[in-house]
Structure 1
């Protein structure tokens, strides 16, 4: 069973950057318990300022939705992390927590390329990729329209 992250038309692999699966409990005002099972997850982190716990997902298990910055995963470790968090904190109801995947360095897709990270796609790359298909469609449609108008003209009869 994969975690439900909502609707995503098409997803592409998101590689080259560390991503974390996080459980955020900002609405819960009391402290939470961190069980030893949670500590066993790779690069476990508890951030009291952001009020979230997270761990690093394996490389290649994160995908990014096309035309958005939304990251998703269906890796089983994310679901087991959420289950273990709920088992350790039974008083924290589902309404008080939210879970998501985020890029460890911050933004999901930087608009301009980061010099230190040449593997990630940028917002400019996404615009180029999306617009190239649109331009081809526009050219073919325009040629078809003008061709139809040209050949549809009534022919003059010679006397």
Structure 2
């Protein structure tokens, strides 16, 4: 059953995101708030921060799985950075997916495994959130022609 959850996260969600990219012209991120080189530098700093913050966790449990927990924390931090610094909704959804995968990785690595019922519940919630965001993105594009946050803010004024 855990394979089904993995297929959901690794197969269905990317397929839905590709479908949105195909349906909505201009959905690709072309002008993020932070340029590529600064984003790479920020991601490197966030990874170092994750390793520094997770040092007490690694010292508490010297098992191999606990030593990999900083990777999950780094994925969460990079996901937050991605969701906060991108203008297009599809890029922000990818950031949310990174956050979810990082949280799942930390939970699995820190506890030695997550019960299947919890994993299924979280995956169902994530799938519902992605479907809702897909519908909203498609409707925003149909109504306003673009999903750039700066242009949507101008509509508010």
Whether TM-score is above 0.5 comes out as: no
TM-score, L = length of structure 2? 0.28
Q: Which has the higher helix share?
A: 2
User: Which structure is larger by alpha-carbon Rg, 1 or 2?
Assistant: 1
TM-score, L = length of structure 1? 0.28
